[in-house]
Chains A and B, each alone.
Chain A
Amino acid sequence: MRKGLISVCLTTLALSATAPVFAEPTQADIDRGKELAYSRKDGNCLACHKMDDGKLTGNIGPELADMKARFPDRELLFKRIWDETQFNPMTVMPPFGRHMILSKQEINRIIDYLYTL
């Protein structure tokens, strides 16, 4: 499992190193983003956000829908997932990047997925 995860990460790393930063994501990128968003030990977005086909979602944060329209600036969305406390000091959203919950690549895959919602 861990080995599989590492190889997935390495693949992601290799891909993002060669491709332009915001290249059109592949279906594999989007699938990986959804996996990370739903996984309890990674993004665990469903803990607080209603989204997509997620079951038993929490309602602390807003529903994640129309993401491209609501967050047209991809870099800004990245920064808010990296550390939302910089934008709203009272937020309870974990600073996913700053606290090393997700890597840059992982956040980028999640954004690839979020932009399909």
Chain B
Amino acid sequence: MLKAKVILVALGAALAVPQALAGATPEEDRKETVEYFKQMFPDVPFEEFVNGQYALNEDRRKQWESMQDFPPYEFAVAEGQEMFETPFANGKTYASCFENGGIGIRQNYPYFDTEKNEVITLELAINRCREANGEEPLKWKKGAIASISAYMASTSQGKPINIKVPDDPDALAAYQDGKEFYYSRRGQLNFSCASCHVQNPGKWIRADFLSPALGQPANFPVHRSKWGELGTLHRRFAGCNNNVRAEPLPAQSEEYRNLEYFLTYMSNGLPVVGPATRP
């Protein structure tokens, strides 16, 4: 079974970019994406797309609103703040690694580092900050890193996502790579990310309600009822890959970072709302 999965990952690279998202530049792609979803959901205001399924389904929205008095991630955010403010062994803190001391900057991540020639996600920057200060890196998908990331996101609440693709062939290549990943079918079930989140948002896949691609990264890290805790965007990517019976890639692999780069660029202008909750 596992072997069959691996072979199918290798085979499953058939690329199908719908006309709706075949722009020549990232900005054209983004505009076409916004327009595509606007036509699909004419009654949903642009800023509401960050709420995913809650923007599209009234029952789900009511369940969600009833959770907002005591959000299940509150403790993790407080814990994240404490970790963020506690000095490393060398006396420095996370603040020393980030612009504006790490406060109110979530909306600028991920960015393309033109010197290192790679996409830097917030979680990657958190762990590189630790390593630069002589600390062990944290595990990528949940726990402390999700709490710190959640605290940092909470200081950016409402700030518009502002991802840039600089005029640099490597940056553009990273963006294109993420876009191709999003539209490539993979796994034994032969689904691309777009199969569900571009072609079929608003529909049910068994008892799960499919959210639109637009706005998806704005609410991370996310507390899923299914997980019973916070998880990072790359944890979710791996879960989706598992669902379609594809071999998930490692969190913070170049592929997932490029995917996050493309996906977050599509949500430019939408407000940061992480951390948030999902079923």
| Interface, chain A (partner B; CB < 8 A) | 44, 46-48, 56-60, 85, 89-90, 92, 94-95, 99-101
**Per DSSP, are chain B's interface residues mostly helix, strand or loop, or mixed?**
loop
- Is A92 in contact with B188, judged by CB distance below 8 angstroms? no
The 3 closest A-B pairs by CB, nearest first: A92-B195, A94-B189, A56-B207
CA distance A59 to B189 in the complex (A): 17
- Is A92 in contact with B199, judged by CB distance below 8 angstroms? yes
CA distance A91 to B126 in the complex (A): 40
B199 to chain A, nearest CB (A): 6
A16 to chain B, nearest CB (A): 23
A-B contacts, CB under 8 A, total: 42
- Is B203 in contact with A60, judged by CB distance below 8 angstroms? yes
A83 to chain B, nearest CB (A): 9
- Is A92 in contact with B206, judged by CB distance below 8 angstroms? no
Listed by A's residue number, 22 A-B pairs whose Cβ atoms lie within 8 Å are A46-B206, A47-B206, A57-B206, A58-B203, A58-B204, A59-B203, A60-B200, A60-B203, A60-B204, A60-B205, A89-B16, A92-B191, A92-B196, A92-B200, A94-B190, A95-B190, A99-B188, A99-B189, A99-B190, A100-B4, A101-B188, A101-B189
CA distance A94 to B243 in the complex (A): 13
| Interface, chain B (partner A; CB < 8 A) | 4, 8, 16, 18, 188-191, 195-196, 199-200, 203-207
A33 to chain B, nearest CB (A): 19
Q: Chain A residues with Cβ under 8 A from B200's Cβ?
A: 60, 92
Q: Chain A residues with Cβ under 8 A from B196's Cβ?
A: 92
- Is A58 in contact with B4, judged by CB distance below 8 angstroms? no
Q: A90-B18, A99-B8, A100-B4 are in contact. Are A85 and B203 (CB under 8 A)?
A: no
Q: Tell me the nearest residue of chain A to B244, going by C-beta.
A: A94
Q: Chain B residues with Cβ under 8 A from A100's Cβ?
A: 4, 188
B183 to chain A, nearest CB (A): 11
Q: Chain A residues with Cβ under 8 A from B195's Cβ?
A: 92
B214 to chain A, nearest CB (A): 19
CA distance A48 to B207 in the complex (A): 10
Q: Chain A residues with Cβ under 8 A from B189's Cβ?
A: 94, 99, 101
CA distance A47 to B189 in the complex (A): 12
Q: Tell me the nearest residue of chain B to A57, going by C-beta.
A: B206
CA distance A47 to B204 in the complex (A): 8
Q: Chain A residues with Cβ under 8 A from B203's Cβ?
A: 58-60
Q: Chain B residues with Cβ under 8 A from A48's Cβ?
A: 205
CA distance A95 to B245 in the complex (A): 13
Q: Chain A residues with Cβ under 8 A from B206's Cβ?
A: 44, 46-47, 56-58
CA distance A46 to B112 in the complex (A): 42
A85: contacting residue among B4, B8, B190, B199, CB under 8 A? B190
CA distance A47 to B16 in the complex (A): 23
